[in-house]
């Protein structure tokens, strides 16, 4: 019997989702180098309007938020019933949007919010204070602007804390938690965990090739030569530093305090706060 269903590759923005998708793409090709322009073939997004409309053969032009959400959930059901796939997700985890009946499991990538804030600010072309404020907004939703309506349906990120808790506690099971910091510290070990969870080639040679192919410097060089569609207009590069702990020089003390005040409980749960004290 052909296996069908969806693995959700989820994270808050700027937490390592693209890096993990690159690793998946490389593993799928035996550890080959990554083509950034074909990344969507390995792990497409779950939010493009055109894909959702094509999946269920409905024009969404006049639909409102609730109707769009129901349409997207139905597209997930249809896609998961047709084939085995992995979908990129930045939404917080709400059960109605990610149906358990077509879910094979969830990979959740988490990163210290103090490192997320300056990275997100750079990506969106806003100042760090604005990024910090948005990360604390439990109703933060993207994709509602006029230009976005032609491309993606609305996605509710919510706050960093709410997003993390939703995926850790409510995501379709089984669940795999990947920490950005551990991916850096032990890329081979963490990539092996990822490969085994997704049923991808996990032998040592393939994993080693994938890790090398997805080294941050290598990905940055590929972007420099070929560009990358996920880079925002005006953003110098998508792949920036890729370092853990860069917040220590990127943030002012008051900014660090605001992040810890807003997200301290979840940071303690994940072991991040101890580094700030």
Give 128-166 pLDDT, tens digit per residue: 999 999 999 999 998 765 554 467 888 999 999 999 999
| 276 assigned to some structural domain | no
Contact 226, 218 (CB under 8 A): no
What span, in angstroms and rounded, lies between the C-alpha atoms of 194 and 92?
Answer: 21
Which range among 61-70, 84-93, 134-143 shows the weakest confidence by mean pLDDT?
61-70
pLDDT, tens digit (0-9, with 9 covering 90-100), for 220-235:
777 666 655 555 555 5
Q: How many residues does the chain have?
A: 277
For residue 240, report the phi and psi dihedrals to the nearest 5 degrees.
-90, -105
> Whole-angstrom Cα distance, residue 173 to residue 176?
9
> 65: pLDDT confidence band, cut at 50, 70 and 90?
low
For 178, the domain range is 5-270
Q: pLDDT value at position 241?
A: 60
- Give Cβ neighbours of residue 163 (< 8 Å, ≥ 6 apart): 12, 92, 93, 157
How much is the pLDDT for 148? 46
Instruction: In whole angstroms, give the CA distance from residue 128 to residue 261.
Output: 16
What does the pLDDT read at residue 277? 43
CATH of the domain at 234: 3.40.50.300
The whole-angstrom separation of Cα 164 and Cα 17 is: 14
List the structure tokens of 186: 């032990």
Q: Does residue 277 fall inside a structural domain?
A: no
Segment 237-274, tens digit of pLDDT = 555 566 778 889 889 999 999 999 999 999 999 999 87
Q: What domain count does the chain have?
A: 1
Cβ neighbours, 10 Å, residue 254: 10
Least confident of 68-72, 101-105, 113-117, 254-258: 68-72
The token duo for 144 is: 């509602």
- Burial (Cβ within 10 Å: 0-12, 13-18, ≥19) of residue 114: buried
Average pLDDT, the chain: 87
* Helix (H/G/I), strand (E/B), else coil: 10: strand
Question: With a threshold of 0.85, does the pTM exceed it?
Answer: yes
Classify residue 212: in a domain, yes or no.
yes
275 belongs to a structural domain: no
Averaged pLDDT, 30-47:
88
Is 22 inside a domain boundary?
yes
User: Mean pLDDT throughout 175-194?
Assistant: 97
């Amino acid at each position: 019997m052909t296996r069908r269903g969806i693995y959700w590759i989820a994270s808050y923005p700027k937490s390592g989702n693209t890096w993990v998708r690159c690793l998946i793409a490389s593993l799928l090709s035996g550890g080959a180098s990554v083509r950034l322009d074909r990344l969507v073939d390995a792990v497409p997004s779950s939010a493009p309007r055109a894909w959702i409309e094509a999946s269920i053969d409905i024009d969404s032009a006049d639909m409102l938020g609730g109707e769009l959400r129901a349409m997207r959930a139905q597209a997930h059901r249809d896609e998961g019933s047709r084939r085995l796939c992995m979908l990129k997700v930045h939404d917080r985890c709400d059960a109605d949007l990610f149906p358990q009946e077509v879910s094979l499991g969830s990979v959740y990538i988490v990163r210290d919010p103090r490192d997320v804030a300056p990275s997100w600010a750079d990506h969106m072309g806003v100042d760090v204070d604005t990024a910090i404020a948005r990360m604390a907004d439990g109703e933060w939703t993207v994709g509602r602007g006029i230009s976005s309506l032609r491309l993606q349906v609305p996605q509710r990120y919510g706050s960093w804390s709410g997003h993390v808790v939703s995926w850790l506690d409510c995501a379709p099971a089984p669940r795999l938690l990947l920490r950005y910091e551990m991916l850096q510290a032990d890329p081979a070990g963490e990539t092996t965990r990822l490969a085994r969870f997704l049923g991808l080639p996990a032998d040592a040679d393939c994993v080693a090739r994938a890790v090398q192919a997805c080294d941050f410097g290598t990905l940055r060089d590929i972007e420099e030569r070929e560009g990358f569609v996920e880079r925002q207009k005006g953003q110098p590069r998508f792949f920036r530093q890729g370092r853990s702990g860069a917040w220590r020089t990127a943030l002012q003390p008051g900014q660090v305090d605001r992040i810890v005040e807003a997200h301290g409980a979840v940071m303690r749960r994940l072991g991040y706060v101890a580094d700030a004290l």
